[in-house]
Amino acid sequence: MDTTQQSTIGKYLSLIKFSHTIFAMPFALIGFFLGVRQSEAPLNWKLFALMILCMIFARSAAMAFNRYIDRSFDGANPRTRIREIPSGLIRPGSAFIFVILNCLLFVSTTWFINKLCFCLSPVALLVILGYSYTKRFTALCHLILGVGLSLAPIGAYLAVTGKFALLPVLFSFTVLFWVSGFDIIYALQDEEFDRSQGLKSIPVYLGTVNALRFSTLLHLLSVLMVSYAGYSASFGITYWSGALLFAALLVYQHSLVKPGDLSKVNLAFATTNGIASIIFSTFVLAELLT
């Protein structure tokens, strides 16, 4: 691979923030192996690979579309004007083609999984792509983002079993409340800019202090979902150890961000949540596979 190809790949990986796959992917693994355990089916590595590809294609489409739709706002925002599209590294038309390609790859891949996943694939795309418009008309945009990422565990479970069940839905609600909560914290950085542009968000609607309180409430609900999932499945000490660490990292995240000091928002958003997702999924998978 020559330098030009490497540079192009790097631009698109940066465009979609590929490193942020770490948020939802571990929960997709939980959903997948939960399906394997509950269906008592042998591990199908081909199906596993298809599930991973679906995650990559769906998230790539969603992130690229968000960058494409928001390119004018990103160009006007001092914090985001260095992103690939407003800075000129990637042309808007190229980004849109990238979105279409990943959407087609996502839907095509679900065809090889099962009929239910294929039929639900347009619904999934509607949610994850539609999120990009929501901050134009509702402060609840963070919850829509949470819904998009919460599709990971239930989608992976459906890939294995082809049917719905309570436990993966509880993990989906865990993701919904967790992601919505930390996205509110991330949005604090743009509170004044969003207000000046007429964009909606919880920080704009409630102010910094109350936005942090609302984020805390959502994370409390996430911990309650984790706890109810563990109780309903009668999981053992391994699961509960992971749940405790997950809760502790959420508490730590909120200790980093204060109304008068947002300097550690990125540490709270990316680093802490990435670690929380990896640690929790590691313990849950250990519980499922032993």
pLDDT at residue 163, as a whole number: 94
pLDDT of residue 23: 87
Average pLDDT of every residue of the chain: 94
Residue 3 clears pLDDT 60, i.e. is over it? no
Dihedrals phi, psi of 258, to nearest 5 degrees: -120, 155
pLDDT score for 41: 82
- Band of residue 196 on the pLDDT scale cut at 50, 70, 90: very high
Q: pLDDT tens-digit profile of 197-216?
A: 999 999 999 999 999 999 99
Span 109-117, mean pLDDT?
97
Most confident range (mean pLDDT) of 39-43, 106-110, 272-276 is 106-110
Per CATH, the number for 3-288 is 1.10.357.140
pLDDT at 265: 87
- The pLDDT assigned to 11 comes to 85
pLDDT (average), residues 123-133? 97
**pLDDT exceeds cutoff 60 at 1:** no
Residue 66: closest CA among 123, 137, 9, 145: 145
58 — pLDDT class (breaks 50, 70, 90):
very high
Give pTM, 2 decimals.
Answer: 0.94
**Residue type at 47 in one-letter notation:** L
d(CA 248, CA 251): 5
Extract long-range pairs of 93-102: CB within 8 Å, 24+ residues apart.
Answer: 95/15, 95/64, 95/67, 95/68, 96/68, 98/12, 98/15, 98/60, 98/64, 99/61, 99/64, 99/65, 99/68, 99/129, 102/57, 102/58, 102/60, 102/61, 102/64
Q: How much is the average pLDDT of 66-82?
A: 95
The string of pLDDT tens digits covering residues 142-171 is 999 999 999 999 999 999 999 999 999 999
pLDDT digits (tens, 9 = 90+) for 244-261: 999 999 999 999 998 888
> End-to-end CA distance of the chain, in Å?
41
Q: Where are the domains of the chain?
A: 3-288
- In this prediction, residue 4 has a pLDDT band, given cuts at 50, 70 and 90, of low
pLDDT at 17: 77
In the predicted model, what is the mean pLDDT of residues 20-38?
93
Check pLDDT > 70 for residue 5. no
Residue 2 has pLDDT above 70, yes or no: no
Which of 12-16, 75-79, 219-223 shows the lowest per-residue confidence on average (mean pLDDT)?
12-16
Q: Is the pLDDT of residue 22 over 90?
A: no
